[in-house]
Chains A and B, each alone.
Chain A
Amino acid sequence: MISPHPIAALIGILIVVLSIASGLIWIERRLLALWQDRYGPNRVGPFGLFQVLADTIKLLAKEDWIPPFADKPVFIIAPAIIMVTVLMSFAVLPVAPGIIISDLSVALLFFLAMSSLGVYSIVLAGWASDNKYSLLGGLRAAAQMLSYEVFMGLSLMGIVLLAGSFSLTDIVHAQQRIWFIVPQFLGFLLFLVAGLAETRRLPFDLPEAESELVAGFHSEYSGMKFGMFFVGEYLGITLISAMITILFFGGWMGPVLPPIVWFLIKTFFFLGLFILIRASLPRPRFDQLMAWAWKLMLPLALANLLVTGAVLLAFYR
């Protein structure tokens, strides 16, 4: 199935998503500053809005240094992988009725597949740098993202049961009566935590953990290659926020305002939540992170799936 205007949707979504991701850098710094009782960037342009532009020019003008001991082809391809995998996921997101690039029947699985391929970027960056801090960051990323992927998928299966489809458009339509946040509150919490871990945001930023690993997997990166990891992270947050909106908060649905506005309002709410979580939570130890995933989150995700399935079987057959 293809939407009515795939090319227009493609260009529009690409431009909007990339500007949200780069705008987020400014929003995050201003919000963090607000919560930490300081000003944040406020010099370049009105309210410091052009700070991102100035930073981009700085990044582009910097020397793009590849260490002589690095595995060159892998070192170069690693930052591109994260951009490609995250941007590919946006292709299956239904933003509003008719505004979608490809209405895939297995869109939810496609999203999970792309997020699982995103691990390569971090792991390869850590390995190709041939630096022990990078390697440790890459190892941590591999273990963390593999573990959290397991229950990220499982936490969404309750929604698939309720909607009876892997298609994201069908999932939004299934929420006409009630948003899935109500019957799947546990699933929402699990997905939120898994989303934080998949995007490697604080408190789950152990792969870069600047207080112990210099900058983790991207220690050796500079210039625009570093910039791609940076923007890739913000694209990841945007993707997870949009997915939460679609899966648990009725997507584009809402009264009075046009659908696309509702979608943006909900997505920006979760973007703000992600930044607030970063501002308020400390980083756990790595063994705590892994124990949390396997001993708490996985059993909860399985229990959620079991109960949802049992209730559906008992009452709605």
Chain B
Amino acid sequence: MNVTAFYIAAAIAMVSTLMVITRKNAVQALLYLALSLISVAVVFYDLGAPFIAALEVIIYAGSIIVLFIFIVMMLNLGKRATEAEGKLLRPRMWIGPAILAAILIAEVAYLLARGNTTAAAANLISPKQVGMALYGPYLIGVELSSLLLMSALVGAYHLGWHKRPKPEAQDVGREYATRIDAGRDSVRVGSDRSAGAA
């Protein structure tokens, strides 16, 4: 285990996570979150778990955060959203999280002071070992989480699926005609983005 690499990665993880909370622009916050996840992957790699490190990048940084950014882009948030976020980030909002974080820090400090920490994994954990553990003693956990994901998938499909009414040929034609007349843009009228781009 490379101690210098560990502390650098851990510091980047902490700073970028702090930036996630304080950014008012959603996309920039998400970018910092991706950075935080990548630095956590480096920590994992340094602790001797390369398989988990790779999965952390592939699944969290490479897929889930990209999906978040995708949704934020679809929502077409503009300056108004940033202003609303600014109103939320008042000093009063910080009290609750600050107390909880302080308890955690105190706990970590107590454990470190007692020197009663378990030794960091000295040996490398191979992908095979992870697989053997997952499909051996932890099989029930794997099955339960796959059931959960399956039900989420079915639920999302149900929410997203809607019966399309049969379009009458005349109506479609009229709709197109009005759209051409109005010369309407695909970007929502009155949104900040279209105003900025003009």
Which A positions have Cβ atoms within 8 angstroms of B? 69, 71, 74, 104-106, 109-110, 112-113, 116-117, 119-120, 123-124, 126-127, 130-132, 135, 138-139, 142-143, 146, 149, 153, 166
Whether A106 contacts B194 in the complex (CB less than 8 A), given A113-B58, A117-B61, comes out as no
Q: Is the CB of A130 within 8 A of B196?
A: yes
Q: Is the CB of A120 within 8 A of B197?
A: no
Answer yes or no: B51 CB below 8 A from chain A CBs: yes
Minimum C-beta distance from A163 to chain B (A): 12
Answer yes or no: B67 CB below 8 A from chain A CBs: yes
Q: Is the CB of A132 within 8 A of B197?
A: yes
Answer yes or no: B70 CB below 8 A from chain A CBs: yes
Of B27-35, B86-94, B106-114, B173-181, the stretch lying at the interface with chain A is B27-35
Answer yes or no: B127 CB below 8 A from chain A CBs: yes
Q: Is the CB of A113 within 8 A of B57?
A: yes
Please indicate the chain A residues that have their CB under 8 angstroms from the CB of B62 in the complex: 113, 116-117, 119, 149
Q: Is the CB of B66 within 8 A of A119?
A: yes
Least CB separation from A116: chain B residue = B62
**8 additional A-B residue pairs with CB within 8 Å, beyond A109-B127, A113-B54, A119-B62:** A105-B126, A116-B66, A120-B31, A123-B73, A130-B197, A132-B186, A146-B70, A166-B51
Please indicate the chain A residues that have their CB under 8 angstroms from the CB of B104 in the complex: none
Q: Is the CB of B70 within 8 A of A106?
A: no
**Total residues of chain B contacting the partner, CB 8 A:** 32
Question: Could you list 24 examples of A-B contacts with CB < 8 Å?
Answer: A69-B196, A69-B197, A71-B25, A106-B50, A106-B127, A109-B54, A112-B54, A112-B58, A113-B58, A113-B62, A116-B57, A116-B66, A120-B31, A123-B73, A126-B73, A131-B197, A132-B193, A132-B194, A142-B69, A142-B73, A146-B63, A146-B67, A149-B63, A166-B51
Q: Is the CB of B61 within 8 A of A127?
A: no
Whether A74 contacts B127 in the complex (CB less than 8 A), given A132-B197, A143-B70, comes out as no
Least CB separation from B192: chain A residue = A130
- 10 pairs of A and B residues whose beta carbons are closest in the complex: A116-B62, A109-B54, A113-B57, A142-B70, A106-B50, A69-B196, A113-B58, A106-B54, A132-B187, A119-B66
Answer yes or no: B189 CB below 8 A from chain A CBs: no
Least CB separation from B69: chain A residue = A123
Q: Is the CB of B50 within 8 A of A123?
A: no
Answer yes or no: B169 CB below 8 A from chain A CBs: no
Least CB separation from A134: chain B residue = B197
Minimum C-beta distance from A68 to chain B (A): 9
Answer yes or no: B133 CB below 8 A from chain A CBs: no
Please indicate the chain B residues that have their CB under 8 angstroms from the CB of A105 in the complex: 50, 124, 126-127
Please indicate the chain B residues that have their CB under 8 angstroms from the CB of A142 in the complex: 66-67, 69-70, 73
